[in-house]
Amino acid sequence: METVAVIFGGRSAEHDVSIVTALASIIKPLELTKKYRVEAVYIAKDGAWYWDEKLKDINLFTSGKIQNLLERTKPVAVEFSGGMRLIKSAGGLSGRKQVQEIDIVFPAMHGTYGEDGSLPGLLDMAGVAYVGCGVAASALAMDKVLAKQQAVANSIPVSKFVAFTKAEVQTDNTAAVSRVTSALKYPIFVKPAHLGSSIGISRVQNDTELRNALEVAAHYDEKVIVEEAVQNLIEVTLPIIGNDQPQAALLEQPLTKAEDFFDFETKYMQGGKKGKGKGSKGAQGYSQLPADLPPALYQAAEATGLAVYKAFGCSGIARVDMLIDSKTSEVYFNEMNPLPGGLYAHNWQRAGISSIELVEKLIAFAKERHAGRQALATTFSTNYLQQF
């Protein structure tokens, strides 16, 4: 039986979202397959790693008892030399050191130090198979500025945007505002370039709001992106899985008014109660599934999503967010999410793939990519050293 380590939590603003993704959408279905030994590896907010069977229980986190557990548990030592091993120091009745070799890693980390390519980088170094996008795709996706530039380079339409560093915003906020207003028209969105789950995002209508929003975004991130709002907006999102032959789920339309764009509270805390009309309650609250679009527009959006997935070199799983101008039928790439919250299992289920099938497919994609990489030549014999 292969051992899968599900790594979750982490030093990220989306720490709590990661816990729910790991426990509800990954660990439970993986265990139900009865094909894998599943190890829960939790990274606390301070960055310490823990490995314990008790970490699979959501009540531990919802009740706040996690703190008690962490206080009386030693962090696990993780070895990344020629694979991945979890090592628990000697203790307990047996007094034996516990070592667990990991065959596949299933990262369930959202945001920084996880979804941004850091964890895939570590796992690449270790040479262990893992689920989801690699370093490059993750890093691109998690930088909204680089992501837009990558899309433009691949002839995928994006809304007009301007980018700033934190220093640029903080040293001369007025210049930043005038640079934005000369290039873009209100309403405008201001976002930290690397954060997900709508943290630090503002929708602004005038210079004063813009100035404040830039400061808020710069408070969260080293880089800020400012985008012109798409008119006659229909916001859609498309979960995709696969390596070389990606497969799309259903195009999903969050049911929010333009002025009530998703913020963190709406997405995760209120169950999407700001949403209007009928819809299904998914990981991000109420949404229309599948999106009610004319067939040609639906196909265009799906094609754009798949094109983005390929252009970014994604593998395993990702979700592409797009904006549609309903009058012009123009589809714009907005953002790419290398690890959709809850894997967007609700969408895959409606698309005909159960959560168990989903995690099994993702494991298979991880193994397929890993096998491909193993087959690559990584050494090259030279007489360079002899000549030195």
Partner 1 sequence: MIRALIGLYGWRYPRTLVYMLQSTEYQVRPYLAWVVRTKDFGQVMQRRQLVMTKAARLLIEGLYLAMAALIIVSLSLIYVGHWHGVIGAVPLGVIILLIYPYVLAYLAVVPLVLGRLLISRPRERKLIVQSEKIFAAHPAIKIAVAGSYGKTTMKELLATVLSEGKVVAATPANKNVAISHAYFARKLTGKEEMLVIEYGEGAPGDVAGFACTTHPDRAIITGIAPAHLDQYKTVEAAARDIFAVADYVKESEVYVNGDSPAVVNFIKPGYEVFTNQKCLGWQIKKVHVGLGGIKFQLEKGSKSLALESGLVGRHQLGFLGFVAALALELGLTPAEVRSGIAKTKPFEHRMQPYQLGGAWIVDDTYNGNLEGIRAGTALLQELSAKRKIYVSPGLVDQGMETESVHIEMGKLIAQATPDLVVLMQNSVTNFIQQGLKDGYFKGEVRIEPQPLEFYTNLGHFVAAGDLVVMQNDWTDNYA
E-strand stretches of the chain: 2-9, 36-43, 49-51, 77-79, 84-88, 98-102, 104-107, 129-130, 161-165, 188-192, 202-204, 223-228, 233-242, 247-248, 253-254, 280-282, 285-288, 316-325, 330-337
Residue 277 sits in the site that holds partner 1 (CB under 8 A): no
Residue 246 sits in the site that holds partner 1 (CB under 8 A): no
Nearest to 138 by CA among 119, 157, 125: 119
Distance, C-alpha 305 to centroid of its chain = 15
Strand order from edge to edge, sheet including 104-107? 49-51, 36-43, 2-9, 104-107, 129-130
Give the separation between CA 316 and CA 120, rounded to whole angstroms.
12
Specify the stretch interacting with partner 1 by CB under 8 A; choose among 49-57, 104-112, 352-360, 380-388.
352-360
Q: Say if residues 196 and 111 touch (Cβ distance below 8 Å).
A: yes
Residue 281 sits in the site that holds partner 1 (CB under 8 A): no
- Eight-state DSSP code of residue 56: G
Residue 348 sits in the site that holds partner 1 (CB under 8 A): yes
Of 147 and 353, CB closest to partner 1: 353
Residue 288 sits in the site that holds partner 1 (CB under 8 A): no
Residue 59 sits in the site that holds partner 1 (CB under 8 A): no
Radius of gyration of the chain (CA): 22
Residue 352 sits in the site that holds partner 1 (CB under 8 A): yes
Of 332 and 348, CB closest to partner 1: 348
Minimum distance, C-beta of residue 134 to partner 1, in the bound complex (Å): 28
Residue 350 sits in the site that holds partner 1 (CB under 8 A): yes
Specify the stretch interacting with partner 1 by CB under 8 A; choose among 164-172, 186-194, 294-302, 345-353.
345-353
Residue 159 sits in the site that holds partner 1 (CB under 8 A): no
Residue 355 sits in the site that holds partner 1 (CB under 8 A): yes
Specify the stretch interacting with partner 1 by CB under 8 A; choose among 62-70, 83-91, 314-322, 350-358.
350-358
Of 92 and 352, CB closest to partner 1: 352
Give the separation between CA 208 and CA 168, rounded to whole angstroms.
17
Residues binding partner 1 (CB under 8 A)? 28-29, 32, 346, 348-357
